[in-house]
Structure 1
Amino acid sequence: MLFEVTFAEMIRRLLLVASILLSSIFLKAESYRNVSVSLLTVSPGTELYSLFGHSAIRIQDPLHGIDDVYNFGTFDFDTPNFGLKFVSGRLDYMLALNTFSQVYQSYLWEERAMTEQILNLTSDQKKKIISLLEENYRPENRFYRYAFLDDNCATRIRDVIEEGLSDSTVFSSAKTSYAQLSYRQLLKQFLTNYPWVDLGIDLAIGLPSDKVTNNREKMFLPEYMKQLVEASSLKNGEKLAIQSRSLLTDIKEPFETVNFITPISIFFAILTLSLIGFSAKQFSRIFSAIFYFSLGLLGIVLTLTSFATDHDALRNNLNLLWALPFNIIMFRAAGKKAISKFSRYYFFSVGIIALLLLALWGNFPQQFNNSIIPILLTIVVTSIQISIQRYVPLKEKGTAIKKKKMFV
């Protein structure tokens, strides 16, 4: 009888433990039922680093009073050698955690629009995404090496969502009607009112930026991240975004370009000045020396950014075909009254390269900025002035010297 009681008590306790475990599992599942995971998209700002907008993830848990925002786009301006590290591709960004109230007030002050898309997730998927974010927020994982086109504040969120869904094709399989656009062309959509920034980016980025992008690759830009979250569906056919709403409205006045000092206007003015050199020889020498010295400096900068950087987007920069770093040596010859045969061949070759680039405009592997056209024309003009007008064959030089001595 004692054995029977003990056995019955054991069964009762096992059932109690099982009941507690099942209740715990059920409560955990229920606790995530009220949690929402959403994508926040912020409109472009006016600072250089904010021209393309911003993405973040919002986690809401009303039962526990949680309303946090995970932001992969944070960097420290006080980082030693900030500018050098940014250009060389060695600047670390980090995952920041703020309350939604802090984020809201920040963008309200900046007068930038904010939209929210609540994701259609199961409790397990919510749990997995939150665990991934918490793991990424650990001090040893918080920092990452920023890469503008493929590892930034938007792509990190894309990767977290894909891993949380255990579906790497959720975005690539979205039905869209996007045109065949390269990374460079996508960037230009946000730079219409910033011609100098557009020029700077076109000068800096190389051939990798002219790759035509697929849906997933387009998500390096927050606006396309938002659009593709809206267009994507889950494996069961349901939409990924179950609700979209505006949290802040952009109340800034539309930006209008009133400054006529644009790259193309300045460069056409330079072209006009170069034409004066056909009749004013001394002016031509001074102008050519300054012009080729400037091209040489630009060539050195582009060489360093192309070869001494960790930014893949800056590599293989074909702007170096016309912004030759050798010009930093040859600019002295460009300013002389008479040039050597070597200098003649050099500047003649430079002019031919410029003519070829103009002839192949629009059909080149790398898309050049349109404002470069007057610069290429200026290279053609000055190369003619230098290689034809100022070249004196060696025999003629000797004859000229002898004649001079006869009259002394």
Structure 2
Amino acid sequence: MNFRMKSKYLFSFFLLLVGKVLFSQTPQLTERSQVSLLTCAAGDELYYAFGHSAFRVQDPVLGIDVVYNYGTFDFNQPNFYLNFAKGRMIYSLSRRSFDAFLYEYELEKRWVKEQIFDLTLEERNQLLVFFENNYLPQNRDYLYDPLLNNCSSITGDILRKQFGDAIAFDGSYLDKPYTFRQLVRQFLDTNSWSMFGIDLAFGAVVDRKATVQEHMFLPYYAMEQIRNTSLNGRPLLKRERTILDYNEHTQQHFFPLSPLFWFILLLAFTCAITYFDYTHKTRSRWLDFSLMFLTGLVGTFLLLLWFATDHTSTPKNFNVLWAFPLNAVVAFIFAFQDKLPKWSSRYLWSVLGLIGIVLLLWIIQVQSFSPVLIPLFLTLAIRYVYLIRYSKL
């Protein structure tokens, strides 16, 4: 390790020691202090796709420049993945120097903007006391919710909690109130596997309109909301500046790797096999097994997300109608019998009708479904209709 690197680590260690001394008791900020909201650009990975929000407190007189970050989680937590699946994800408030926080975004070339609040000294100290109290080991952990309680939605919650009715969120900047699903789709391509998976897991509960404050679960909307928020009748935003100035990351998509491409391919393949079966008066049992078992498996998983987890965004998921869980059992019956059972026609008409109900729910806006499902609906419908015909032979 060269002298320059040694000096860097010694300096970081010195800053850490100074921070511990400074914050062993909450200091009283001076008139030159500032409290601000940092908004960071979206990144390339799914967990960076929506951007990030954090609070910054600085006071040059006291030598304080720290970031309070509510978006911290630890992969090494006990039962991390199990808790994630159950909807019991624990996030924490972390506190680190502003330079250390900024370093990551500089490496990834993601812009960072700062919005400085127009607060009295008393209000700034009030927020600092809150952050420091929240940072205590017994207080820093919280139950994460991707839509209702995340690093960005907490911005509005904290302002409301600290200043009560004195804080006013003006929603006139919104073209219209969006549903939670519509808001998520603004940041992910509908024809991507990540958005398809999210659309599949989300239930009808996310198709309600979000309130003005609820739009703040997305950092970009939280930033815009700060521009349209007042405290005691005066604008909350004092001034805004760009700390890191990089271009917005754009997602690159290759159509042959998208879900729509593969579902169209599956539709074409199923049409060809079904035509072959029709002309030869036979049944490709492996195809029926694959389609029914996989849809049943997906439906079972969605049913578990609905009833067996604490996720607030997965209940009332009517994707279980086309991905009918019972298909996983029926698949084995259809696969190992040369002749379809007598009840097969009634069952097939029922699952075909369930696809029709899904389309109806979509039309009347009970739940919005992923558009890339349309080729899959056609695939299932074609096979179900053929099997109904085949069962009568």
Give the structure-1-normalised TM-score. 0.84
Per the TM alignment, residue 253 of structure 1 is displaced from its structure 2 partner at its CA by 6.1
Out of 240, 243, 267, the residue aligned to residue 239 of structure 2 is: 243
Contact 1:306 1:315 in 2 (8 A): yes
- 1:221 correspondence with 2:187: no
Out of 85, 105, 108, the residue aligned to residue 103 of structure 2 is: 105
Q: State the alpha-carbon separation in 2 of the partners of residues 277 and 42 from structure 1.
A: 50
The correspondence of residues 252-291 of structure 1 with structure 2, limited to 5 A, is 254-281=250-277, 284-291=284-291
Contact 2:41 2:248 in 1 (8 A): no
The correspondence of residues 2-401 of structure 1 with structure 2, limited to 5 A, is 31-167=29-165, 169-171=167-169, 173-192=170-189, 195-236=192-233, 238-251=234-247, 254-281=250-277, 284-335=284-335, 336-358=337-359, 361-392=362-393
Per the TM alignment, residue 81 of structure 1 is displaced from its structure 2 partner at its CA by 2.8
Q: State the alpha-carbon separation in 1 of the partners of residues 237 and 110 from structure 2.
A: 22
Per the TM alignment, residue 321 of structure 1 is displaced from its structure 2 partner at its CA by 0.9
Q: State the alpha-carbon separation in 1 of the partners of residues 361 and 161 from structure 2.
A: 44
Q: State the alpha-carbon separation in 2 of the partners of residues 387 and 193 from structure 1.
A: 33
The change in CA–CA distance for 1:168 and 1:81 in structure 2 (over 3 A counts) is farther
How many residues are treated as equivalent by the alignment?
363
What's 1:20 paired with?
none
Contact 2:106 2:244 in 1 (8 A): yes
The change in CA–CA distance for 1:206 and 1:253 in structure 2 (over 3 A counts) is closer
SS, match of residue 93 in structure 2? strand
Q: State the alpha-carbon separation in 1 of the partners of residues 249 and 141 from structure 2.
A: 36
Contact 1:307 1:315 in 2 (8 A): yes
Gaps of at least 5 residues in structure 1 are 1-27, 393-408
Q: State the alpha-carbon separation in 2 of the partners of residues 211 and 193 from structure 1.
A: 19
Q: State the alpha-carbon separation in 2 of the partners of residues 117 and 297 from structure 1.
A: 47
Q: Deviations over 1:324-383 (max 9, x none)?
A: 111110112443442112222111111122134335543231100001111111121111
Counterpart AA for 2:254: V
Per the TM alignment, residue 286 of structure 1 is displaced from its structure 2 partner at its CA by 1.8
Contact 1:322 1:353 in 2 (8 A): yes
Gaps of at least 5 residues in structure 2 are 1-25
Contact 2:28 2:125 in 1 (8 A): no
SS, match of residue 219 in structure 1? helix
Per the TM alignment, residue 174 of structure 1 is displaced from its structure 2 partner at its CA by 4.2
SS, match of residue 57 in structure 1? strand
CA RMSD of aligned residues (A): 2.1
Per the TM alignment, residue 285 of structure 1 is displaced from its structure 2 partner at its CA by 2.3
Counterpart AA for 2:49: L
Per the TM alignment, residue 316 of structure 1 is displaced from its structure 2 partner at its CA by 1.3
Moved more, 274-283 or 49-58: 274-283
Per the TM alignment, residue 193 of structure 1 is displaced from its structure 2 partner at its CA by 7.4
Larger Rg: 1
Q: State the alpha-carbon separation in 1 of the partners of residues 111 and 145 from structure 2.
A: 25
What's 1:7 paired with?
none
Q: State the alpha-carbon separation in 2 of the partners of residues 49 and 156 from structure 1.
A: 17
Q: State the alpha-carbon separation in 2 of the partners of residues 121 and 147 from structure 1.
A: 29
Counterpart AA for 2:235: K
Q: Deviations over 1:57-76 (max 9, x none)?
A: 00001111000000001000
The change in CA–CA distance for 1:50 and 1:359 in structure 2 (over 3 A counts) is same
Q: Deviations over 1:130-171 (max 9, x none)?
A: 111111101000101111111110122222222333336522
Q: State the alpha-carbon separation in 2 of the partners of residues 174 and 301 from structure 1.
A: 37
Per the TM alignment, residue 31 of structure 1 is displaced from its structure 2 partner at its CA by 4.4
Per the TM alignment, residue 306 of structure 1 is displaced from its structure 2 partner at its CA by 1.4
Moved more, 82-91 or 129-138: 82-91
SS, match of residue 63 in structure 1? coil
Counterpart AA for 1:230: R
Moved more, 50-59 or 302-311: 302-311
SS, match of residue 313 in structure 2? helix
Counterpart AA for 1:108: E
Contact 1:44 1:54 in 2 (8 A): yes
Per the TM alignment, residue 251 of structure 1 is displaced from its structure 2 partner at its CA by 4.7
Q: State the alpha-carbon separation in 1 of the partners of residues 39 and 297 from structure 2.
A: 39
Moved more, 381-390 or 190-199: 190-199
Contact 1:70 1:133 in 2 (8 A): yes
Contact 1:302 1:320 in 2 (8 A): yes
Q: Deviations over 1:22-47 (max 9, x none)?
A: xxxxxx99943211000000011112
Give the structure-2-normalised TM-score. 0.87
What's 2:19 paired with?
none
Contact 2:56 2:67 in 1 (8 A): yes
Q: Deviations over 1:168-215 (max 9, x none)?
A: 6522x4432332310000000000277111100001111111110121
Q: State the alpha-carbon separation in 1 of the partners of residues 329 and 70 from structure 2.
A: 44
Percent identity between matched residues is 34
Contact 2:30 2:61 in 1 (8 A): no
What's 2:3 paired with?
none
